[in-house]
Amino acid sequence: MTEKTLPPIPAKRYFTIGEVGELCGVKPHVLRYWEQEFTQLRPMKRRGNRRYYQHHEVLMIRRIRDLLYDQGFTISGARGKLQELVQHERGRPGMNESLPAGSEQIHGDEALSGDCADGVFFEGDPLPEQIREVERELKEIRDMLTVPPWLDLETL
């Protein structure tokens, strides 16, 4: 099962480990192992230590699966490639602008202070309009909080 034949990701907030396994073509025990190997994967754990994955984590798992199974990377190599993608995204110009639907973008905990972190959205995976709207609002807030370069805070 290649990335192209994976089922579309439903528009819902949380996914169980079984659902993620089906969406990504990976068994649950492999997902638990990848959590140990890839620090970007941090599903929420609830009662009984049950894992709940968010959309960006499902996309990250698809990216990891592609690197390991389709492109032939080792775990270490895939870890490095993901880090390289993060570095590439951080250096990309125009990250303060809204991106069109289907654009590849990295999202995560650092979305307000940096421009990327946890998850990678594949090109062609549709982002629900609500997520794009929240992203636009957060970027506007970040821009309002950004200190202009001409303002020297040390002299205040």
CA 153/CA 156 separation, integer angstroms: 5
Residue 81 burial class via C-beta count within 10 angstroms: exposed 0-12, middle 13-18, buried 19 and up: middle
Amino acid 143: pLDDT: 75
Place of tokens 């480990």: 17
Q: Has residue 111 got a pLDDT over 60?
A: no
* CATH numbers and ranges of domains, the chain: 12-146 (1.10.1660.10)
Q: Has residue 1 got a pLDDT over 70?
A: no
Residues 7-56: pLDDT tens digits? 999 989 899 999 999 999 999 999 999 999 998 899 999 988 899 999 98
Amino acid 57: pLDDT: 92
- Cα of 104 vs its chain's centroid, Å: 10
Amino acid 149: pLDDT: 59
User: What single string gives the DSSP state of each residue in 35-62?
Assistant: HHH-TT---EEEGGGEEEE-HHHHHHHH
Neighbours of 116 (CB within 10 A): 21
Residues 50-107: pLDDT tens digits? 999 999 899 999 999 999 999 999 999 999 998 887 777 777 655 444 444 443 343 4
